[in-house]
Chain A
Amino acid sequence: MLSLERVSKVYRVGTFGGGQVRAVSELSFALAPGEVVALIGESGSGKSTVGRMVLNLLPVSTGSIRFDGIALSDLRQGDRKDYWRRVQGVFQDPFSAYNPIFKADRIFRTLRAEFFPRVETGDWNRRLDGALQAVGLNPQQVRDKFPHQLSGGQLQRLLIARALLLDVQLLVADEIISMLDASTRVDVLNLLADLKARGMAILFITHDLGLANYLSDRVIVLYRGCMVEAGPAEAVFENPQHPYTRMLVAATPRLDCKWPVSDWTPPVGEGEGLGCVYSARCPLCDGQCNRPPVPIETAAGHRVACWRVADPGH
């Protein structure tokens, strides 16, 4: 349904657009109906940028994104609205997704005006209440309030409810659970799982490997815009290959044991490595890592971009 081919994004920054930030490089993956793919990576690794490109809010720099075979860059104004009827997103920062001078529930009115002009008020209110309850919100508590009068989690769930009202085929969920408490989080995840069972595809963006594993079929681990590891969720989680993924799995806080005091030093190197993007932080880095690694397939569908994985000494 959705396919990305060698997609890169370069932002121009600074005066006269002189500087460049390489946010995503050469990313390829595909998404089928009813499939959940998780994008995992640290802050600034380009996850939201991918989400925005898939939502057709941001043009790609090179490469192409196709939905049902049609490249997004070929869509015209009229087609775009059709596209957004089928593909919707929930943004990461709930505080900036609302126009601060209007009531928060205006997002629903806009949606109705643009997509459902013919639905009657009574019917619409029923649908709306249903969607709000599906995300665990008390309609009375959130209606008729300004964004600053609601908490982060409440705002975020309103956005999810908005996406639910449109019966979309693909949902881009950008860190939608990072603001929610454990029980609400589970409700939202289960809700997504039900939607998935009904055939909705989800691009699930998160920094939490454990939650990605709970819901998704496949995961893609990004580091500084590059894919470092991709594969079936269980395989990546239980048998991580790339040093970065390994470190992520090892650093996951657990409830059954506390972090030992001494065995772990926080990542020091921050800069981008030459060649392999992870080389500045990587404990296994050696001479060959100053060339960009070529992804190799270690098991069916499990790809890793690291020179040392192929090494016998690894």
Chain B
Amino acid sequence: MSLSVQELRVYYQTLHGEVRALDGVSFSIADGEIMGLAGESGCGKTTLGYSLVRLSPPRRLVSGRAVLDGEELPLGDPDAMRRFGWKGVSIVPQFAMSALNPRRRIGGMIAELLAARKLRYLELLPELERRLDLVRLPAAVLAMYPFELSGGMRQRMVLVLSTLLNPSLLVADEVTSALDVSIQRAVAQLLAEFRDRGLVKSMLVITHDLAVLYQIADTIAVMYAGKLVEKASADVIIRAPRHPYTRLLISSLPEIGARHARCRLKGIPGQPPSLLNPPLGCRFRARCPAVSDQCGEEPPLREVAAGHQVACWQQPC
């Protein structure tokens, strides 16, 4: 068992009250597992990723714990978490690729980052070059400026950097979103390769792109409005989803070659609830086609089949 998270609640403090971006999320990722995380925009995916790395204000840990390789992560204590950063849990943030400092050469920037962790650049250089070779980048990129690299090269660079110290868990937030499909495939397969080679024990891959997730993830978890609504193996989520939200989400994916004029895809009517004062009961209630009286009470995440958990009252146990 690589990572297990229990009842994680993380709120944002604002002047208007607390934004309940994560409200009781539990899951676990096994050794060597790539878990995909999908869900509506604004449902708390990035928040979840960051909570495992650095939980600084305004994010506030309300409750919950996380255990990584048998050791409890001090989630509420950003200073203690530093010790786990990069080696324990490493994150590739959303837009990391465009956030590279344009004025620094790549090598210099890496040296700086390493120095901040009291590590020697020159000692790690051979390993770094080996890794660059693995992602098919020439060692010469270290002497280049970020703008000299294409998007795909930059993204691979960021991946090499964040996995340099062989983290137990890699959180990759939207790493493939800005790339064209061929580079997307290269980067996605690279993620799998990192896992296969044991450079990273397990991964949490956050993306909107279910088609990419389907290709590389072992399991997919779906979030809705701060809660986990379903988790199962990738095949099951894509082919036989159980939760009404997941079903609607999957059905809104365009078929290959779909055109608007011929068949208009349908989204999900309505809007997600406000996370400031989320409604009681199931959070999908207002948009759910299968809603019943029971849904006024909160559905627990229950195991409906081996390795398949759903949080919905309409599911037989």
Which residues of chain A have a CB within 8 Å of any CB of chain B?
Answer: 13, 21, 40-45, 93, 95, 133, 136-138, 140-141, 144-145, 149-154, 157, 175, 178-187, 189-190, 193, 207-211, 213-215, 233-234, 237-238, 247-248, 251-256, 258-259, 264, 266-268, 270
Closest 7 CB pairs of A and B: A43-B151, A153-B41, A266-B186, A42-B180, A187-B267, A253-B211, A151-B42
Given known contacts A43-B183, A210-B256, A255 and B214 CB-to-CB distance under 8 angstroms: yes
Cβ contacts under 8 Å, A133 to chain B: 271
Given known contacts A44-B151, A136-B271, A258 and B215 CB-to-CB distance under 8 angstroms: yes
Q: How many A-B residue pairs have CB under 8 A?
A: 179
Q: A186-B265, A190-B267 are in contact. List 20 more A-B contacts (CB 8 A).
A: A13-B147, A42-B151, A42-B179, A42-B182, A43-B151, A43-B183, A152-B174, A180-B208, A181-B38, A181-B40, A184-B41, A184-B267, A189-B265, A210-B256, A213-B259, A214-B265, A255-B253, A259-B215, A267-B182, A270-B153
Given known contacts A13-B147, A44-B150, A136-B271, A175 and B265 CB-to-CB distance under 8 angstroms: no
Given known contacts A181-B41, A214-B260, A258-B215, A248 and B274 CB-to-CB distance under 8 angstroms: no
Given known contacts A144-B16, A151-B46, A213-B259, A182 and B253 CB-to-CB distance under 8 angstroms: yes
For the complex, give the distance between the alpha carbons of A293 and B274 in Å. 54
Q: Contact between B208 and A253 (Cβ–Cβ < 8 Å)?
A: no
Q: Is B26's beta carbon under 8 Å from chain A?
A: no
Q: Contact between B215 and A182 (Cβ–Cβ < 8 Å)?
A: no
Given known contacts A141-B274, A253-B215, A267-B182, A183 and B259 CB-to-CB distance under 8 angstroms: no
Q: Is B78's beta carbon under 8 Å from chain A?
A: no
* B240 CB, min distance to chain A CBs, angstroms: 13
Q: Is B252's beta carbon under 8 Å from chain A?
A: yes
Cβ contacts under 8 Å, B208 to chain A: 179-182, 185
* A148 CB, min distance to chain B CBs, angstroms: 9
Write out, one digit per residue, whether chain B residues 206-233 have a CB within 8 A of any chain A CB (1) or not (0): 0011111011000000000000000000
* Closest chain A residue, CB of each to CB of B239: A255
* Closest chain A residue, CB of each to CB of B40: A181
Cβ contacts under 8 Å, B128 to chain A: none
For the complex, give the distance between the alpha carbons of A266 and B265 in Å. 32
Q: Contact between A251 and B182 (Cβ–Cβ < 8 Å)?
A: yes
* B95 CB, min distance to chain A CBs, angstroms: 6
List 26 A-B residue pairs with CB atoms under 8 Å apart, sorted by A's residue number.
Answer: A42-B152, A43-B150, A44-B151, A133-B271, A141-B276, A153-B41, A153-B42, A179-B174, A182-B249, A182-B250, A183-B40, A183-B248, A183-B268, A184-B267, A190-B260, A208-B181, A210-B254, A210-B258, A252-B181, A253-B188, A254-B211, A255-B210, A258-B214, A267-B182, A267-B186, A270-B153
Cβ contacts under 8 Å, A185 to chain B: 208, 252, 267
Q: Contact between B39 and A251 (Cβ–Cβ < 8 Å)?
A: no
For the complex, give the distance between the alpha carbons of A136 and B178 in Å. 22
